[in-house]
Amino acid sequence: MTAALACDALSMAPWRRGFPKEVIVHSDRGSQYCSNIYRDIIGKHQLKQSMSRKGNCWDTQFTMLMERFFRSLKTEWVPTLGYRSFIEAKHSITDYVVGYYSQATSAQQRIKSKRGRETTQS
């Protein structure tokens, strides 16, 4: 992955999310994530950068979640023969990411709501 691609994605994310505050951006130590341009974008949007330690492959929970996400994206969403154009891929994958995040957020809210009822009923 190039620094330009990582920077484009990072620039688009806050805009798509309504410019939330106190967001942590976690990555490995790839050169694209250490680049000055990428770090400038993090500063511009007041994000907090988090990186795994050098040679740390034990960041398993985050890694497992991301691998699950990309496996689902590839097997459930991306057409077998690919997309006809970059624009088609960009729109389709953006729709998937927004939908995936919305489902995860809704599930987390239901779990928190259920936990709240259980503690008040005890």
Q: Which domain holds residue 120?
A: 59-122
Which CATH number is 25's domain given? 3.30.420.10
Whether residue 72 is found in the same domain as residue 105? yes
Question: Which residues on adjacent β-strands are paired with residue 49?
Answer: 25
Res 115 pLDDT > 60:
no
Measured from the Cβ of residue 6, the count of other Cβ atoms closer than 10 Å reads 19
- How does residue 5 score in pLDDT terms, banded at 50, 70 and 90? confident
Quickly state the pLDDT bin for 84 (edges 50, 70, 90): very high
More confident call, 58 vs 69: 69
Which residue do the tokens 């484009």 mark? 8
Residues above pLDDT 70, as percent of the chain: 72
Same domain for 80 and 120, yes or no, is yes
Residue 11 vs residue 58, higher pLDDT: 11
Per-residue pLDDT for 85 more than 90? yes
Is residue 21 domain-shared with residue 32, that is, in the same domain? yes
**Residues 60/28, Cβ–Cβ less than 8 Å:** no
* Cβ contact 45:9 at 8 Å: no
Domain co-membership, 64 together with 45: no
Q: 89 with 83: CB under 8 angstroms?
A: yes
